Amino acid sequence: MEIPSKSPLLLVSLLLFSFMFLPLSLHAICNPNDKEVLLQIQEAAGNPPDMVSAWNLANDCCSSWAINCNSDGRVTYFFAFRSNRNFELPSRIGNLEFLQSFTFVGLHGLIGTIPPSIKRLKYLEQLAIYECSLNGTIPNFLGQMKSLKRIDLNSNQLSGSIPHSLGHLPNLTELDLSVNKLTGHIAKSFGLLKNLEKLVLSFNQLSGSIPKSLRNLNLSYIDLSRNNLRGDASFLLGPGKTSLGIFYLRSNKFSFNFSNIEIPSSLGGFDVSFNKIYGSLPPSITKPFYEDGFNVSYNRLCGPIPNGLQYLDDAASAFIGNKCLCGSPLPPC
Ligand SMILES: *[C@@H]1O[C@H](CO)[C@@H](O)[C@H](O)[C@H]1NC(C)=O
Ligand SMILES: *[C@@H]1O[C@H](CO)[C@@H](O)[C@H](O)[C@H]1NC(C)=O
Ligand SMILES: *[C@@H]1O[C@H](CO)[C@@H](O)[C@H](O)[C@H]1NC(C)=O
Ligand SMILES: *[C@@H]1O[C@H](CO)[C@@H](O)[C@H](O)[C@H]1NC(C)=O
Ligand SMILES: *[C@@H]1O[C@H](CO)[C@@H](O)[C@H](O)[C@H]1NC(C)=O
């Protein structure tokens, strides 16, 4: 539009006019089909007050804090939390085809399985449905959703084994399947997850040994506690593991010789209690501080405790229940 330069009054009113509408033009108007899917989920969930106010579907959903849209008004992010009424995810969820981030937390009434229509979400980077009540298996098709970076399905009722296909997600950085009822083995294909930083499979019923292919990963966070895993896990440690911060293997059946293992100096949390680890404590285990805990209790370790670990709070309890560990904070050798 051409603004007549000789009419300052008109210019001022034009400016005022556009400022009045500026807040609306900052975000797109919600696509009606996307809004329909959101409404369907909200109604299925029994219109829980938290969801109703967070999604603000009565107005324009794109203006709510729990939903983001792209410039065409297509939903790219949605977040829901806290509801108790039982409901299942409608299959139309696959119509939110521009979704990048799907985050549902603490919807204890969210039952049923992960719907197959999810595989149509071809831009999905984050699938986070945790502290809900999903059951059934983790679908194989997740392994075909190559855009996924983060999968967090912790604290549901998922059963069956973890699909091998997940090992073929090139950009996966975080996998958290803890606190479910998963069985079977950890797939060899997980060694292909070159970008994986965080692997959390604790509180399941996984069995077998950790595939040697995981030796190649550069993980910063490993929690495999409370499963039925056995065999060697020492190859997850070693001098090359310069990013490793958390190493939790508590309550499994791991069995390996600890004597010559090099503990990365980056480690802030180390808990391998309640396993069948033997040999002696390696000198590299001494560190000024383990801010996220240290515990080697209830294994089959032997020999003197290296100097420099006695600072631990309640230190003796971190070493008890072994075959013949000795020296401070335990009784002398
Ligand atoms: C999942 O839960 C529903 C009801 O909550 C039940 O009918 C169904 O059998 C369960 N499926 C599995 C595989 O446990
Ligand atoms: C993986 O991430 C890279 C870098 O962010 C990106 O360019 C690529 O498109 C992603 N791959 C897929 C399949 O999304
Ligand atoms: C591992 O990741 C860290 C950062 O997280 C990086 O500094 C380091 O170079 C990586 N090492 C390898 C072998 O990729
Ligand atoms: C563990 O390894 C050390 C060093 O290689 C060796 O001396 C020791 O005998 C081994 N312990 C057991 C119980 O095999
Ligand atoms: C180590 O684990 C044992 C067994 O659960 C527990 O009793 C003890 O308090 C723990 N000690 C430390 C220092 O975490």
Of 7-16, 158-167, 208-217, 229-238, least confident by mean pLDDT is 7-16
Q: How far apart are CA 81 and CA 130, in angstroms?
A: 10
pLDDT higher than 60, residue 5: no
pLDDT in tens, 40-92: 999 999 999 989 999 999 888 898 999 999 999 999 999 998 888 899 999 99
Q: Whose CA is nearest to atom 1 of ligand 2?
A: 171
Atom from ligand 1 closest to the CA of residue 157:
14
pLDDT at 10: 45
pLDDT at 26: 55
Output the CA 46–ligand 3 centroid distance in Å: 46
Average pLDDT over residues 303-316: 82
Q: Which residues line ligand 1 (CB under 6 A)?
A: 111, 135-136
Q: Whose CA is nearest to atom 7 of ligand 1?
A: 112
| Ligand 3 contact, 266 CB (< 6 A) | no
DSSP β-ladder status, 181-183 and 207-209 = unpaired
Output the CA 243–ligand 3 centroid distance in Å: 6
pLDDT in tens, 137-174: 999 999 999 999 999 999 999 999 999 999 999 999 99
Which two structure tokens, joined as six digits, stand for 226?
């409370």
Between residues 139 and 15, which one has the greater pLDDT? 139
Q: Which amino acid is located at 95 in the chain?
A: N
Q: Which amino acid is located at 215 in the chain?
A: R
Of 242-251, 271-280, 285-294, least confident by mean pLDDT is 285-294
| Ligand 5 contact, 329 CB (< 6 A) | no
pLDDT at 90: 93
In the numeric block, the tokens 């072994």 are attached to 322
Nearest 10 degrees: Cα torsion 83, 84, 85, 87: 70
pLDDT at 95: 96
Indicate which ligand has the atom closest to the C-alpha of 159: 1
Of 7-11, 173-177, 272-276, 324-328, least confident by mean pLDDT is 7-11
Output the CA 323–ligand 2 centroid distance in Å: 50
Q: Whose CA is nearest to atom 12 of ligand 4?
A: 279
Q: How far apart are CA 110 and CA 49, in angstroms?
A: 16
pLDDT higher than 90, residue 226: yes
pLDDT at 27: 63
Atom from ligand 4 closest to the CA of residue 302:
13
If you write DSSP's letter for every residue of 205-229 in order, what string do you get?
--EEE--GGGGG---SEEE--SSEE
| Ligand 5 contact, 293 CB (< 6 A) | yes
| Ligand 2 contact, 173 CB (< 6 A) | no
pLDDT higher than 90, residue 199: yes
pLDDT at 241: 95
Indicate which ligand has the atom closest to the C-alpha of 313: 5
pLDDT in tens, 257-270: 999 999 999 999 99
pLDDT at 251: 98
Return all residues near 282 (Cβ < 8 A) that are at least 6 apart: 258, 259, 260, 261, 262, 263, 306
> 79: which strand partners?
103
Rg (CA), the chain: 26
Q: Which residues line ligand 4 (CB under 6 A)?
A: 257, 259-260, 278-279
Q: Whose CA is nearest to atom 7 of ligand 3?
A: 243
Atom from ligand 5 closest to the CA of residue 315:
13
Q: For the chain, what's the residue count?
A: 333
Q: Under DSSP, is residue 190 helix (H, G, I), strand (E, B) or coil?
A: helix
Atom from ligand 2 closest to the CA of residue 171:
1
pLDDT at 63: 87
pLDDT in tens, 97-141: 999 999 999 999 999 999 999 999 999 999 999 999 999 999 999
The DSSP output letter for 53 is: H
